[in-house]
Structure 1
Amino acid sequence: ITNALEVGCAAGAFTEKLVPYCQGLTVIDVVAQAIARARQRIKEPSRINWIVCDVQQFSTDELFDVIVVAEVLYYLGDIAEMRAAVKNLVRVLAPGGHLIFGSARDANCRRWGHAAGAEPVIAMLNETLIEVERLECRGESVNEDCLLVRFRNPISAS
């Protein structure tokens, strides 16, 4: 992966697995403490650009070959904020690039007090991207029910 973006790193568990595959990686999280914990965990920080910011406010001229956004968007206040975040992420996805989205299902997110979960965001992403692959993840608890979906930007590089 030439240039990747991870949205919401938490303690950096996924970041640690992603970084060996990336020539360049930008990691954003709205919580400064999350960025600090992830930075402590990662052994090769020189390839990582760490940014404390909200996904809706994230701004760059860079394009990313891969964007990973998992278990993040349901923390936004409402559907309009989710739509704004999706629009912002699609804007920075390179032509032919892949966006990997993961989230608890809508029913769980609403039960937890969030505005929405996986299904509405997947519908938003399908408005501009092509769904390539979908994986349903279920555990033993009712709370362990999520979707992972890989999308591709249909706009080819010219």
Structure 2
Amino acid sequence: MTSATSPTSAQDFDAIFEQDDPWGFETLWYEARKRDLLMAALPEARYARALEAGCATGMLTERLACRCDALLAIDVAARAVERMLARVAGHAHVEGRVARLPQEWPAGSFDLIVLSELGYFFTPDDWIATVKHAASALAPAGTIVACHWLRPFAERQMATRHIHAAIARQPGLYRHVRHLEPDFLLEVWSRNAQPLRMREALQ
């Protein structure tokens, strides 16, 4: 959920994830609906290998697992990874790992990279480094999805518009979705420039 140099430390997040339902992931209709929108926005029906950065308690991880052949879910908070793995225990193809970004960006390429509700906890330099890693690790027809809260809060290091703009500036990405609400911004980029309907027409 955070970078090594963020004022919010891994220990801070571990304490947050000791709470029963941090941020209302399990109880708020807002959160459930947002997950539905994110999943519906993904242009591919299935992804071979995916990365979820900032997996938290695994509510989204559980949904992503149903659309991926292999899924690596990471978080800076060990307690978050523990809870995520307990939630997806029935999905053998999901791996959990404690990692600090950008310093511990995982090796290999990914067909889907999910950057949801984490960019604000990074310093601008660390976030730019993180999205550069993401762009470099993206498969030739891969997808990046980003979803972030728009309103101010004490721990925020960057505005959401700057968080998403850093992704949009990466070369070779084409934006396919921009969903804006008063509370959050959801965007999807792909290496594949063709709209979904055109892709299917060519199959």
Give TM-score scaled by structure 2 length: 0.67
Q: Secondary structure at the match of 2:157?
A: coil
Q: Which residue of 145, 166, 184 corresponds with 1:146?
A: 184
Q: Secondary structure at the match of 1:15?
A: helix
Q: Secondary structure at the match of 2:181?
A: strand
Q: What is the aligned partner in structure 2 of residue 91 from structure 1?
A: 136
Higher strand share: 1
Q: Partners in 1 of 2:155 and 2:78 — Cα distance?
A: 24
Q: What is the aligned partner in structure 2 of residue 134 from structure 1?
A: 178
Q: Partners in 2 of 1:44 and 1:122 — Cα distance?
A: 33
Q: What is the aligned partner in structure 2 of residue 28 from structure 1?
A: 74
- How many equivalent pairs are there? 145
User: Contact 2:143–2:191 (CA<8 Å) still a contact in 1?
Assistant: yes
Deviation for aligned residue 1:15: 0.5
Q: Which residue of 9, 13, 18 corresponds with 2:59?
A: 13
Deviation for aligned residue 1:154: 5.3
Q: Partners in 2 of 1:57 and 1:63 — Cα distance?
A: 17
Cα shift readout 1:21-78 (whole Å, capped 9, x = no counterpart): 11100111000000000111113342012110012123344211111111011111x2
User: Contact 1:104–1:117 (CA<8 Å) still a contact in 2?
Assistant: no
Q: Partners in 1 of 2:65 and 2:84 — Cα distance?
A: 12
Give aligned-pair identity as a percent: 28
Q: Which ranges in structure 1 are unaligned for 5 or more consecutive residues? A: 139-144
Q: Partners in 2 of 1:154 and 1:47 — Cα distance?
A: 26
Q: Partners in 2 of 1:58 and 1:153 — Cα distance?
A: 24
Q: What is the aligned partner in structure 2 of residue 80 from structure 1?
A: 125
Q: What is the aligned partner in structure 1 of residue 97 from structure 2?
A: 51
Q: Partners in 2 of 1:80 and 1:152 — Cα distance?
A: 23
- The one-letter code sitting in structure 2 at the alignment partner of 1:26 is L
Q: Secondary structure at the match of 1:101?
A: strand
Answer with 1 or 2: which has the greater Rg.
2
Instruction: Compute the RMSD of aligned alpha carbons.
Output: 1.7
- The one-letter code sitting in structure 2 at the alignment partner of 1:83 is I
Give TM-score scaled by structure 1 length: 0.84
Please identify, of 145-154 and 9-18, the stretch whose mean Cα deviation from structure 2 is larger: 145-154
